[in-house]
Amino acid sequence: MSVGSFLRSGQAIGELVDIDEIRVKFSAPERFLSLLNRGAQITITTAAYPDHQATGEIIAVEPVLDAATRSARVVARVANPERRFLPGMSATVSVVLSERPDAITIPNEAVFASGNQSFVFALKSDSTVARVAVALGMRLADVVEITQGLAPGLPVVRAGHQKLFEGARVLPITAQGAAE
């Protein structure tokens, strides 16, 4: 539009946008549909502000899947009091589908396989190691859940499995940033 332009009835001349609270629309694979519910918490981040995140909740899961991608459209409402997220921005969306607060997790590199069985070398109180058969659960990028075979808090060997054997004596070194 320019100064002096003629406007027709109903013609849009601008957009009003409230960005104090935004709607985030994203797609989720159909295998997660049973876990995506209204009220589930989400967290969003964006490349423009990598150290800033905002949280919100799912307000709708559309009932029709995209035929090409086999995914569902999900809509969430997110508070945006600092007004950092703007309409049209891309964002990374994280949704907690389920939580297991008592889950035992260890670094992926601590697990090794022999045949179809997974093992870890667990550190005993006398600084020797024991080869322990474990059952694996959920696997993430850096950790794996142990569902059987390992007690909570038992230290495990992260590296050097090829040099270890049952009863080998080791010098424990705590990794930087490792949880107690």
For the chain, domain boundaries: 21-95, 104-163
Both tokens of 21, joined, read: 């609270």
Domain 104-163 belongs in CATH node 2.40.420.20: yes
Q: How far is 51 from 175, CA to CA, in rounded Å? A: 25
pTM greater than 0.85 (yes/no): no
Domain 21-95 classification at class level:
mainly beta
Query: 3-48: per-residue pLDDT in tens?
Result: 888 888 988 888 888 889 999 999 999 988 888 989 999 999 999 9
Contacting residues for 159 by C-beta, under 8 A, at least 6 apart: 109
The SS3 call for residue 33 is helix
Q: How far is 107 from 110, CA to CA, in rounded Å? A: 6
Query: 141-165: per-residue pLDDT in tens?
Result: 889 999 999 989 889 998 888 888 8
